[in-house]
Amino acid sequence: MPRGRQREFDADQALDRAIDVFWRQGYDGTSIADLTASMGIGAPSLYAAFGNKRALFDKVMNRYMRTRLARRAEALAVDDPVQASRNYLEGVVRDGTMPDHPKGCLMVGGALVCSDDNHDVVDQLASLRTDVRNDLEHVFARAIRAGRMPADADAASLGAYVATVAGGIAVEAAGGASRQSLMKVVDVALSALPTKA
């Protein structure tokens, strides 16, 4: 039985190029033609390897989030909630201001302009941002239980606060804000966190 034609492109490299396109242009602003041009493959090869645009976006987000989830877990693993928040926010700044890379964050920017027809994309990215808030809330709740923050501190609000700062940093980075200026924003934001007297 004859074997089918072997794939003539590197799937991981193609996905990385697709990440770049979705990151720069958002989901709605990205066409199949944009993707095939960037990925260096024809539309039939794209559909055969990755499915339609929506299925490709899912694969892109899985690849994009894999390293970021590991880094977030490492950043938040420290006991000091202020340091954990600093680790996370400084990571957001670094990711959003990498040279020769799209600015900002795909998780935030990918859904900033999305039509009603693609509400599932908006919902998917909103769910990922909810995960960030929840992870941060757990950091603060753990610190409150351990007596490292005031007993009356609100872990949910603190988690939402740091996540909102992170989202703002991503938007500002996408708009061209420098790494240096955004690191100063991190300092100011962290100064508002309650500490144990």
**Does residue 92 form part of some domain?**
yes
The whole domain housing 185 covers: 64-191
For the stretch 59-82, pLDDT in tens is 999 998 888 899 999 999 999 999
Residue 85 has a pLDDT of: 97
For the stretch 105-120, pLDDT in tens is 888 776 666 667 778 8
| Cα radius of gyration (the chain) | 19
Taking the CA atoms of residue 177, residue 181, residue 183 and residue 187 in that order, the dihedral angle to the nearest 10 degrees is -130
Angle made by CA atoms 41, 67, 13, in degrees to the nearest 5: 15
Three-class DSSP category at 7? coil
Residue 169 contacts residue 93 (beta carbons within 8 Å): yes
Using CA atoms, how far apart are residues 92 and 101, in angstroms rounded to an integer?
14
Residue 4 has a pLDDT of: 46
**Does residue 139 form part of some domain?**
yes
Using CA atoms, how far apart are residues 31 and 50, in angstroms rounded to an integer?
15
Cα 176 to Cα 27, 64, 99, 117, 190, distances in angstroms: 20, 21, 12, 30, 22
Tokens of 41: 């493959």
**Does residue 50 form part of some domain?**
no
For the stretch 82-107, pLDDT in tens is 999 999 999 999 999 999 888 888 88
pLDDT at 5 over 80: no
Q: Is the four-CA dihedral 169, 175, 176, 181 of positive or negative sign? A: negative
Residue 158 contacts residue 95 (beta carbons within 8 Å): no
pLDDT at 8 over 80: no
Residue with the two structure tokens 């492109």: 9
Residue 132 has a pLDDT of: 94
Greatest Cα pair distance in the chain: 75
**Does residue 179 form part of some domain?**
yes
**Does residue 3 form part of some domain?**
no
Question: Residue 156 sits in a domain of what CATH number?
Answer: 1.10.357.10
**Does residue 81 form part of some domain?**
yes
- The proportion of the chain whose per-residue pLDDT surpasses 70, expressed as a percent, equals 92
**Does residue 120 form part of some domain?**
yes
Which is more confident, 162 or 6? 162
Q: How many domains does one find in the chain?
A: 1
